[in-house]
Structure 1
């Protein structure tokens, strides 16, 4: 498995009511070369993660319409693209959409933790695409069991290639899915729907961060 081969395999997927950011172009927000930009974003990100020697995945559920749909990167919105190269040296990212960068609340919480820890994990999702409601591409929905079956082989290949030893599941959906890989799984509350405090507390305990470290990291992002 190589980053190029992995991204090429992702780009080959085509599912109903699912936006594939590595192959599809949004007629409303995307630049003409958006899919190519997102493939490059992910390819260089995976290469950088492998060179760092990541052995942990932070695993969310799927790409959201304000975040990964636009960037091609899990748990990462456009607002945080400039930080990628600092946390993952060698990663080259580019905004694939027109207009100002769009921020996402979950990404803000994820990146606050990334600023506070020494070795970054790989950010990934159970379902690496953006599932949406029929006829409404700018909504989020849960993937179906049939859709999830389509990506099982690729997720297994990714975990095997990087020799992942631990998955930090962001939310119960991710935790349930992650059990199948035979590695240690730690579940952290997802920060959405009122879960910010529990998410921060869980990450603080997991990484033994000082009290208020994540609040300070959020403030740094605003400077």
Structure 2
């Protein structure tokens, strides 16, 4: 059972009318989106119980990741496999995959993200500058870098998470997130995105932040 503030957050997210080639996979037009809304509520409630002090803001959901699961930086295998290192997912946690997830390959970026977080024993709350799936027009099973207006549309949501969680540090993961946060007046550290061979740079960036005294 999610708290009213989390429920309101998910409801507001689902109500946004996104632009063409930008899929709001939380809206009420598709029955399977109800499962994604529920999954996101479960994730946010679990994280709220853990009181993370760091918010990592990425770019946008991938079509094999959050677009399927409803949870930032996750993929199908994380829900179906054993509980991960932090005990967030796995059997008995209540997450349900929509039928369309069957046979979808796992998004590698999500796998890398959670491997590195486990290695560092570091559990921030995860989000995206544009929390909806941006794709190439006419190709819904593709990924596209969100435009500045699309990222701006998502700004109120990462701002809401800063209020919902006891966040002391916001970290931009990649250039899109960094530009979005800067446009909102925040001067935040930027680290390498874990996609496209960025694992070592992503890990090194987090290690430097933690060694500099960023509180978990």
TM-score (norm 2): 0.81
Tell me, in whole angstroms, the C-alpha distance in 1 between the residues paired with 2:53 and 2:7. 20
Q: Deviations over 1:56-94 (max 9, x none)?
A: 111110011111111111111112225369443895322
Among 161, 164, 169, which residue is 2:172 paired with? 169
Which string of whole-angstrom CA distances, capped at 9 and with x for unpartnered residues, describes residues 159-211 of structure 1?
Answer: 12213111222112212222356667222111223323222332344445xxx
The aligned counterpart of 1:94 is 96
Select which of 20, 23, 30 maps to 1:19. Answer: 23
CA distance in 2, matches of 1:187, 1:93: 31
Which deviates more, 162-171 or 88-97?
88-97
Question: Is there any run of 5+ residues in structure 2 with no aligned partner, and where?
Answer: 212-216
Normalization by structure 1: what TM-score?
0.79
Any idea what SS the aligned residue of 1:66 has? Answer: coil
Match of 2:37 in 1: 39
Superposed, 1:68-217 pairs within 5 Å as: 68-81=66-79, 82=81, 83=83, 86-88=86-88, 92-96=94-98, 97-100=100-103, 102-179=105-182, 185-207=188-210
Distance in 2, Cα, partners of 1:149 & 1:64: 18
Q: Which residue of 1 aligns with 2:51?
A: 53
> In structure 2, what is the equivalent of residue 29 of structure 1?
none
The structure-2 alpha-carbon separation of the partners of 1:132 and 1:61, relative to structure 1 and needing over 3 Å to count, comes to same
Counterpart CA distance in 2 for 1:79 and 1:102 is 9
Kept in 1, the 8 Å contact 2:53–2:167? The answer is: yes
Secondary structure in structure 2 of the residue aligned to 1:95:
coil
Distance in 1, Cα, partners of 2:7 & 2:84: 19
What is the rounded CA distance, in whole Å, between the counterparts of 2:46 and 2:118 in structure 1? 17
- Alpha-carbon distance in structure 1 between the residues aligned to 2:124 and 2:189: 13
Q: Contact (CA 8 Å) 1:84, 1:91: kept in 2 or not?
A: no
3-12 vs 144-153, which moves further: 144-153
Distance 1:2 1:167, change over 3 A: same
Aligned length in residues: 202
Which has the higher mean CA deviation after the structures are superposed, 6-15 or 83-92?
A: 83-92
Matched residue SS, 1:127: coil
Q: Compared with structure 1, are the counterparts of its residues 101 and 93 closer, same or farther at alpha carbon in structure 2 (3 Å cutoff)?
A: farther
Give the structure 2 partner of residue 218 of structure 1: none
180-189 vs 73-82, which moves further: 180-189
Change (3 A) 1:79 1:70: same
Unpaired runs of 5+ residues, structure 1, are: 26-31, 209-223
